[in-house]
Structure 1
Amino acid sequence: TKEELEELNEEIKKIANKVRARLKSIEQSFDQGENVNRTSVDLRIRKTQHSVLAHKFVEVMTEYNETQTLFRERSKGRIQRQLEIS
């Protein structure tokens, strides 16, 4: 139903915001010297992992937004056809 869809969209937004904040927090930890005791290899690995996760997150959110747009366009088309029939 429409309500369930809206609830899911809200839940996705909340999760996406949490992920975005966590990724930003991790990135800031690289600059704030929290990794002083880590080896340069360990730090490079962490930065690479963060970079991969951030890019994957952007990919997933882009696909999600494209799917939402496609759904809206299809819904508009369906409504327009129904109005033309009436």
Structure 2
Amino acid sequence: MGKLLFWIFLVIVVLFAARIAGRMAAAKQAGAQGGRAARGQAPQPRQVESMVRCAHCGIHLPRSEALLQGGQTWCNAEHARLGPRKH
């Protein structure tokens, strides 16, 4: 009975040590990346950007990367030159 309690205790200690080591590694990695989590601050949410569709090929891309001509959006100048595709 004593041996069984010893092994249960040993497994619990090993799991606890692994958990602490994992948290320390995550904190070190966040600190190396300049993350705010290492300093105890909450990370800033990402800015949401609207998506638009190319009038020629139909691909969706962020509005900041799209080309706006003639009231329509395009993924590149070649598609703007070709015009809207007839479906």
- TM (norm. structure 1) is 0.40
Structure with more of its chain in strand, by fraction: 2
Bigger Rg, structure 1 or 2: 2
Structure with more of its chain in helix, by fraction: 1
